[in-house]
Every structure is written in structure tokens, then in C-alpha cells.
Amino acid sequence: MVHIGYTMMTEQAGPQELVEHVVRAEEVGFDFSVTSDHYFPWLDTQGHAPYAWSLLGAAAQATSRIPLMTFVTCPTVRYHPAVVAQKAATMQLLSGGRFRLGLGSGENLNEHVVGAGWPAAHVRLEMLEEAIGIIRALFEGGEVSHHGTHYDVENARLWDLPDTPPPIGVAASGDRSCALAGRLGDLLVAIEPKSELVEAFDRHGGAGKPRVGQLPVCYDTDREAALARAHEQFRWSVGGWAVNAELPGPAGFAAATQHVRPEDVAETIPCGDDVDAVVKAVGQFAEAGFTEVALVQVGGDRQGPFLDWAHKELLPALRS
């Protein structure tokens, strides 16, 4: 059975609300949770971007069962990998071992804020690989010094380490990133239900490891309202990762998606209250070989109704 997760999407709600949402998600029976790690929303209509790591610490204390995970953190530009290692170790302690560190090569949208430029895609993967090596070395304990192609670490040590370090997930969208995920990750992270991603991950060492996907949905008893909200707040998602990783701000995403129609969004986002449509979409991930799928309810102010629906109808249907 595919495990079903809940997404704390920092782009569409404030920190207090996000903690309240994950508490409710735990109560209604979601198997795990993930959170995005953004400095900007994709579109101005989403309207939020609190600091994910403060949110995660609060969520760890407000919940007791539900696993937590970054989906995903970029440990290469905005954050130095030595600092990411410290944050992740602390989260594993605060959560009592419920934390997984999802990592990816990032988006210009969030990383440009520190003024370090935005490297080419192949360089970003090189940086991610070096960053993962630094993080794993620090998880082992002891003092770490590193002088590599992209990073320097001087006499770093994590003074508060969990007995079991957090598993590391690696986001992938193509052959090169799948190869990196298979070699260096404890789990695969992806947003498309493509079997070729899983197969490439397996070929490079990922066989038997968890594969975590993500699916946006837009629940509403009024399907037209759901469709309008999905178009208003989530039309950026139809652009594909080659585009989404490069644009520097919400204005760019608004311009790039000005001709996207509501019906285009509906092709990839189940809208309304049709349980079978969500079950079918989750089934596509299962058929592709994914073991976990995190749902994203579109609309920060519509989490309560979605969670009630998930409790009464959606989760029982997904598990049957």
C-alpha cells in the first residue's frame, strides 16, 4: 500500500496556520508530512513564504507521531551544507527520530536572494553531490574540514547528534539526478509519476529504497471554484522543471503562465470533490513504483475542509 502524506506548503499559508494544519493532518491519519522550503512563493496570489526550519521545529513539538520531511531543501547556495547538517541533526532530535532530510538542486526563485548567481544545471548537480558528502561526514560525528570544488569547511563539528542520523532524500527529474539519487540518497524524491525515474534510480543503487512523490489536488464541493483557485495559485506547475528552476521571481512565473488556461491546469490537478479522481492520480504514482505520495491541497485557507474530507472520504478510499 502506498503511504499517503500531507504537505505543509509554505508558499500558501503563514507559520501558525501551517503548524495547525499538520497537527490536524496527524489527527485525521495521514502517514507522513513534508514541507517546502521557499524564500518566495511561486505566484503573488499564494502570498506566503515563512522560514521552513522554524516551522519544522514548531511542528515537531506540536505533533507526536507524524513523520516530518523537507520537500526539498537546497543545500548549495542560500544555505551552506554544514549549516544544513546542523539544522537536520537538531530536527531529528526535536522530532524524536521522525525527520527525513529531502535535498535538491534548487530553484533560482529562492536561491538568488543571497546574490551569489545561479549556476548552470550541471554545476548545480556537482554542488549538490559535494554538499551531500559534507552533510554525511558531519552526521558521522567528529571534526570535519573540507576544501572542495565548491565548498570549504573549517573544523566543523555537530555537537548535538541523534543516535540515528536523518535519512537523506534526493530530488530527481532526469537521468543525471536519478543517478546521483541512487548513489547518494536513502530515498528518491520526485514530483512526476514516471516509471523511468524509478528505473534509473534503481539502476544506480536505489533498489529497495523508498520513493516519495507529490500530487497537488484542489478540493472543493464547487468544482468551478476549485478549478479557478488551482489556476490562480498553481498554474506555475505546468511549466516543467527545466523552466521552473530558472525563473527568478513571481513576476516571471506570472508572465510565463499568462496563457495557461484553467483546463490546462485541470489535466494534472484533480479539482472538486471526486474521490475517484484523486485515487486514480495516486494510482499513477503507485504504478510507476512510488511507495509514498504527499498530497498538496491548493489554497492556504482551504486546508480545514480538505482535511475533513480526507478524514471522512479520501483516506479510506485510498487505503481500500
> Which residues participate in catalysis according to the annotation?
38, 107
Q: What phi, psi does 44 have (nearest 5°)?
A: -60, -30
Asked whether 166 and 67 are in contact (CB, 8 A), the reply is no
Q: Strands, DSSP E only, in 136-283?
A: 144-147, 152-156, 168-171, 187-189, 211-219, 271-272
* Rounded Cα–Cα distance for residues 167 and 202 (Å): 17
Task: Name the grid cell of 58.
Answer: 514548531
Cβ-proximal residues to 110 (8 Å cutoff; 6+ apart), any chain? 37, 38, 39, 40, 74, 78
Separation of CA 48 from chain center: 16
Task: Name the grid cell of 73.
Answer: 531543501
* Rounded Cα–Cα distance for residues 126 and 298 (Å): 33
DSSP, collapsed to helix, strand or coil, labels residue 3 as: strand
* Rounded Cα–Cα distance for residues 149 and 102 (Å): 23
* Rounded Cα–Cα distance for residues 24 and 2 (Å): 21
Tally the residues of the chain.
Answer: 320
Q: Is 312 exposed, middle or buried (0-12, 13-18, 19+ CB in 10 A)?
A: exposed
Residue type, 193: P
* Rounded Cα–Cα distance for residues 26 and 271 (Å): 23
Asked whether 209 and 181 are in contact (CB, 8 A), the reply is no
